[in-house]
Amino acid sequence: MFSVLACIRDNHDWRLIVAAVIVCLIGNLAAMLLLFRAGECDPGQQRSWMAASALACGVGIWATHFIAMLAYDGAFPISYGVGMTALSVVLSIGASWLAILVATEWESPYAFAGGGLIMAIGICSMHMTGMQAIEETVDIVYNPTSTMIALLIGMALASAAFFAFRELKGTRRVLVAAVIMVLAIAAIHFTSMSTIMLVPQPGRLVTATLLETKTLAGIVMAVSTALILAALSAVFLASHLTDLRGLANASMEGLLVLHEGRIMDANERFQEMSGWSLAELRGNLPSSVLALAESGGETRHQEASLTARDETEIPVDIMTRRMIYRGRNCQVLVVRDLTERKRAEEMIEHLAHHDVLTGLTNRSLYDTRLRHALQMAERKRSQIAIFCLDLDRFKAVNDIFGHAEGDRILCRVAAILKRVAGDGDTVARLGGDEFAIIQTGKPQPEAAQKLAGQILDGLAAEMDVARDPTAVGASLGIAVYPIDGRTAEELCDNADTALYRAKHAGRGKACFFDAEMDEAVRARRQIEAELRHAITRNQLYVNYQPILDSGSGAITGYEALIRWNRPGHGISEPEVFIAIAEESGAIVQLGEWVLRQACAEAALWPKPLTIAVNVSPVQFMLPNLCERITAILDETGLPPQRLELEVTEAAFMRDRNGVIATLMRLHKLGVRIVMDDFGTGFCSLSNLRALPFDKIKVDRSFTGVLEHDAAARSIVRAIIGLGHSLGIQVVTEGVETELQRQIVVEEGCGQMQGLLFGKPDIEPSVKLAARANFLSVHGGERGAAQVLAMKAPAK
Ligand code: C2E
Ligand code: CA
Ligand code: CA
């Protein structure tokens, strides 16, 4: 140890020693850094990094040796042979490569020691070869013991370096390993040098090419510095580039780097998205894969279409940027795949335009399609058929079997419609059990007739109404452009009208719109629609027609008759709208309203006259009709005995027993039951006996012909006789002339009603009379007669 230190102190130029140590340290730092880098790389790249590391290490060792030799002051000048010098550097690099390979790749816990051993041998052999390069006029005398000691120390330190590299983490791993490796190299060199003897042999001839000390110094310094710097810059450049590429590849967006308008690079995402490899893309114009619009500013977004390798078109969004890439001014296209977004947009679009349950077109898209179809048809002068389709019995199935079953049926119907409709036809569900079809581009009405047949057949084939309680049928209404209308509204309306007729013609039918036939239907539908709001809009009022006692001529009561002040149509007679109200069910509300009005009115009358109110057969379908009537009596305070309910025989057609039970209960309450329109029905007599009738009203059709028709007169006589024999009051309505009155009186009819005695009026004369009385008693300006003659004010 002492001799080594003495050797360094006495025989070396310490400044050059410092230089050698620095070169050695830099070489080893580079080597360890490269080795560190190798550990981070994929296996494929690992070897190249390790080779670079070996190069840095080997050159470092070699340079250290020769700089140290320059520092050595051996009392006479030394020159070196080129061949051996070159061999020494090769040995140094080769040994380093082998040592690194063993230390890092050998799968053994002692790999570090193996690496250390090889490294030490390598350093020793490099050292000796380097010594052998010294000109042949000098003999080198080694001390074998110290050479062995140098080898062992070197081995221990080199192993320790590899061990440290394996065990430590982070930058410490590189620093500590490099420093220990420097110690190993220095130890071998100086231990060996401290015992070496150089014996000059002046007589020997020099055969080899020689390098002067100064030249060698220059070469060594230059080569080592260059190599080490190269190694270091490689570390930074490579890590920088790899990281950049990794970053680019990790990006969710495709990146295309363009240089002078041509593709220079593409990241993995772009290659994956397009299916094109980098090799295929490189050098091409971007327009070969991207349908780009004119590129604008630096960060402008553009929609474009990317042609993939498999020829599919991918919608993309492109953003353009500029950057310096690999030292060149490049354009970067950031390509974002819009497939998912487009899909989501399409889904939202689909939801907005389709029925969720059946997947059919919904009303909004149907309207749009219809308008487009009409525009097309107008241009091409072609025809269109509009189908309105409504399921029969659907409401009942839905109510009885539940909504799930209802939904299932709607889906089945939708499937049938889709199957039979043509490809260009639009099948839509407009809501509930309402469907519609637009049939285009076919000769009409033949095509519509055919499709209607297919729909009805398809439904009949799949839904056996006779056996399956959930099976439904359908009614169809069809309107054809241009003959049945030119606008969408007109056509839909007419198809709807035709559907209405189809439903009334017995379900399971298809009807084409027919202007004449559907005019009546349209009017009915109009009334039906308007009638729904008549009560709330205060368009209804009640007229009162007096009923007189035949004997005294005194008013015994009034019949309440409804009137409708229909906007645009004047006063509507009940003949026009009652039947429609019965069909739509509006009569229930209407009838109740009239009853309430009439009872309230009668309750105000000064005399306890009767009030007759007509009750429609439809109202008897209400299970609680009796309770409702009772409630109205309670509400208005009218005694039941003053109320007469006029019932026609049609009321008994449906639920005879139910209706009888209701009438019985009302009769027991004291309400009087009148059989209206007597003589026009079929089973009058049987009804008369079985039912609690208090009065019969002879139909006005008999009264009108009494004067000339002997048969009519005998029927009237029979009815009156029947009434007497059953103890039932009889009233004859429709008495218009004095002669009719005389006949009716002669035949012994108790009461009379008709225009002869008074027309239905807004204010019953009993009220006017009461008011006239009041006025005359209290000295009113007008006389009672005047008031009586006074026209009732319009409400
Ligand atoms: P109805 O019950 O047989 O009513 C008598 C009809 O004969 C009334 O017609 C009345 O104005 C009319 N009339 C009265 N005197 C004469 C006459 O001397 N000669 C002729 N030819 N006719 C006369 P209106 O008011 O047009 O009512 C027609 C029908 O409408 C009624 O026949 C009744 O069935 C129904 N109706 C009227 N109001 C109501 C109501 O509030 N509820 C229900 N369910 N039906 C009503
Ligand atoms: Ca009546
Ligand atoms: Ca009548």
User: Could you report the per-residue pLDDT of 487-500, keeping only the tens digit for each?
Assistant: 999 999 999 989 98
Q: Report which bound ligand comes closest to the CA of 644.
A: 2
- Rounded Cα gap, residues 781 and 118, in angstroms: 144
For ligand 2, the distance from its centroid to the CA atom of residue 563, given in whole angstroms, is 14
- pLDDT for 794 equals 38
Long-range pairs of 359-363 with CB within 8 A, sequence gap ≥ 24? 359/414, 360/414, 360/417, 360/418, 360/427, 360/428, 360/429, 360/435, 361/426, 361/427, 361/428, 361/429, 362/428, 362/429, 362/430, 363/428, 363/430, 363/431
- pLDDT for 782 equals 40
The CB of 694 under 6 Å from ligand 1? The reply is no
Q: Which segments of the chain have a pLDDT < 50?
A: 298, 779-795
Of all protein residues, the one whose alpha carbon is nearest to atom 17 of ligand 1 is 734
Q: Which atom of ligand 1 is nearest to the CA of 699?
A: 3
- pLDDT for 5 equals 61
The CB of 677 under 6 Å from ligand 1? The reply is yes
Residue among 575, 614, 615, 739 to mutate when testing ligand 1 (max atoms within 8 A of CB) = 614
User: Which protein residues have a CB closer than 5 Å to ligand 2 (ion)?
Assistant: 614, 646, 676
Residue with tokens 């295309």, as numbered in its chain: 256
Tokens in use for 361? 């077109």
Q: Report which bound ligand comes closest to the CA of 561.
A: 1
Q: Which atom of ligand 1 is nearest to the CA of 677?
A: 3
Q: Which candidate in 425, 433, 493, 699 is catalytic? A: 433
- Rounded Cα gap, residues 169 and 40, in angstroms: 13
Tokens in use for 462? 């799949």
- pLDDT for 653 equals 80
Note the pLDDT tens digit of each residue in 85-110: 889 889 999 999 999 999 988 888 99
Of all protein residues, the one whose alpha carbon is nearest to atom 30 of ligand 1 is 574
Side-chain-side CA neighbours of 342 within 13 Å: the count stands at 12
- pLDDT for 555 equals 94
CB atoms inside a 10 Å sphere around CB 538 = 10
Q: Which atom of ligand 1 is nearest to the CA of 542?
A: 41
DSSP string for 416-435: HHHHHS-TT-EEEEEETTEE
For ligand 1, the distance from its centroid to the CA atom of residue 547, given in whole angstroms, is 13
Note the pLDDT tens digit of each residue in 634-661: 999 999 999 999 999 888 887 888 899 9
For ligand 1, the distance from its centroid to the CA atom of residue 562, given in whole angstroms, is 8
Of all protein residues, the one whose alpha carbon is nearest to atom 2 of ligand 1 is 614
> Is pTM beyond 0.85 here?
no
Catalytic residue check, 433: yes
For ligand 2, the distance from its centroid to the CA atom of residue 757, given in whole angstroms, is 16
- pLDDT for 453 equals 93
- Rounded Cα gap, residues 602 and 121, in angstroms: 133
The CB of 578 under 6 Å from ligand 1? The reply is yes
Of all protein residues, the one whose alpha carbon is nearest to atom 13 of ligand 1 is 734
- Residue 529 burial (CB < 10 Å; 0-12/13-18/19+)? exposed
- pLDDT for 787 equals 36
For ligand 3, the distance from its centroid to the CA atom of residue 699, given in whole angstroms, is 5
Of all protein residues, the one whose alpha carbon is nearest to atom 19 of ligand 1 is 734
CB atoms inside a 10 Å sphere around CB 348 = 10
Side-chain-side CA neighbours of 201 within 13 Å: the count stands at 12
Q: Which atom of ligand 1 is nearest to the CA of 760?
A: 11
The CB of 107 under 6 Å from ligand 1? The reply is no
- pLDDT for 90 equals 92
Q: Report which bound ligand comes closest to the CA of 562.
A: 1
Note the pLDDT tens digit of each residue in 336-352: 888 888 888 888 888 88
Residue among 541, 577, 611, 733 to mutate when testing ligand 1 (max atoms within 8 A of CB) = 733
Of all protein residues, the one whose alpha carbon is nearest to atom 27 of ligand 1 is 574
- Rounded Cα gap, residues 290 and 530, in angstroms: 62
For ligand 1, the distance from its centroid to the CA atom of residue 700, given in whole angstroms, is 9
For ligand 3, the distance from its centroid to the CA atom of residue 730, given in whole angstroms, is 12
